Amino acid sequence: MLKRLILTRHAKSSWDDPLTPDHDRPLNERGKAAAADLGQWLSSRGYVPGEVLCSDALRTRKTWSGIAPALPGTPVLELKPALYHAGPDVMLAVLRHAKADVVMMIGHNPGIAEFATKLVARAPQNADFGRYPTGATLVADFAIESWDQLVWGTGVVDDFVIPREIAM
């Protein structure tokens, strides 16, 4: 059996209003465009999640809203407050409860960069992987029967992209 994870950092957020709480920051125009581009990129490669585990922050929810229209079907969206600025151990714990064969997780740095690094057996040949910039998306496969069997260092990278590489 094979499980696939699509791991996405939220798209570029706005800092226009310094009084906006971090949790409530929206996407800026570049972030909105990047989310739409990511949706097209995912769809064009057949990377379609059956389940989406998303931080409940506004910028992660809006990233999903930008991606979703390009994807066929209606993946189940689960807002996960635990993913807001989560570290790798929390992210792993949340993912271990996933049900679909293809899961998308949308989160934040610095945790998502460390999570991605710990998950894969070998990092992709991309200088940006370690810093996981906004919109960065990893697609990795795991030879497991269920997500509760997931352990560090077992992911095989299928793809890694950042929005500026795919601007449509």
* pTM of the predicted structure, to 2 decimals: 0.96
Q: Which helix (H) or strand (E) holds 156?
A: strand 156-161
Cα torsion 54, 163, 113, 101: sign: positive
Low-confidence ranges of the chain (pLDDT < 50): none
Distance, in Å, from the CA atom of 14 to the CA atom of 101, rounded to the nearest integer, reads 33
Reduced to 3 states (helix: H, G, I; strand: E, B; else coil), residue 149 is helix
Residues 6+ apart with CB under 8 A from 146: 3
pLDDT of residue 74: 80
pLDDT of residue 17: 84
Distance, in Å, from the CA atom of 143 to the CA atom of 97, rounded to the nearest integer, reads 16
pLDDT of residue 167: 66
pLDDT of residue 91: 98
pLDDT of residue 168: 53
